[in-house]
């Protein structure tokens, strides 16, 4: 194939026209969004700009969607992805962890509430030491007991982000519990005939 100056020139000219067309549309979009669409909010503008999900498929939110800006789209940058924070970090992505009770405590809840909440300090198998709430009425947890810890904070105890699992390890189930037995480690009572 022979090299032709004219073909090479035409190819470059087409490429330049395509780049010019893209820049012109970006400038046009940016001018429209700088002026605004009257009463259209930032969230609607970002939904129009969204390269991945159209606005009508996105769940309703009062805060604007965090997609890439026009300049970022022009540069070809991916939209920022926020890292999900775990609510129970010491379990290290496990649903339940085994641990040893270090100390049993009685804590007072936050301001509007008043009670004696039973909790304990537990050293998990991964070495982390945490505070865990003991659910249900009465317990037999003491120092050196082997217990199982699940996630779930106690809403009125600051710093307590974990629950002990009743009826597992050395921690017994709740005595005389009739309802919600599975949550408190109670076996089904024998039918009396």
Express each pLDDT in 90-106 by its tens digit.
999 999 999 999 999 99
Domain map (residue ranges) of the chain: 5-75, 89-184
Whether residue 43 contacts residue 64, with contact meaning beta carbons closer than 8 Å, is answered with: yes
Q: Which position has the token pair 């032709």?
A: 4
Residue 193, pLDDT above cutoff 70 = no
What is the chain's mean pLDDT, rounded?
82
pLDDT-based confidence at residue 3 (cuts at 50, 70, 90): low
Q: Which CATH superfamily is domain 89-184 in?
A: Nucleic acid-binding proteins (2.40.50.140)
Comparison of pLDDT for 154 and 5, the residue scoring more? 154
pTM: 0.60
Which stretch of DSSP H or E encloses residue 31? helix 5-35
């Amino acid at each position: 194939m022979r090299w032709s100056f004219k073909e090479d020139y035409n190819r470059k000219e087409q490429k330049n026209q395509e780049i010019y067309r893209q820049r012109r549309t970006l400038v046009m979009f940016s001018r429209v969004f700088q002026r605004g669409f009257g009463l259209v909010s930032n969230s609607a503008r970002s939904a129009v700009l969204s390269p991945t999900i159209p606005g009508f498929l996105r769940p309703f939110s009062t805060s604007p969607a965090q997609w890439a800006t026009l300049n970022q789209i022009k540069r070809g940058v991916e939209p920022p992805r926020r890292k999900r924070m775990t609510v129970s970090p010491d379990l290290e992505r496990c649903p339940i962890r085994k641990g040893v009770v270090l100390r049993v405590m009685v804590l007072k809840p936050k301001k509007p509430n008043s009670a004696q909440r039973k909790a304990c300090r537990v050293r998990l198998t991964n070495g982390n030491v945490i505070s865990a709430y003991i659910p249900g009425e009465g317990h037999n947890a003491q120092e050196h007991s082997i217990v199982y810890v699940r996630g779930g904070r106690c809403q009125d105890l600051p710093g307590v982000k974990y629950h002990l699992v009743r009826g597992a390890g050395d921690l017994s189930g709740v005595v005389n519990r009739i309802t919600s037995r599975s949550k408190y480690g109670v076996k089904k009572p024998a039918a009396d005939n």
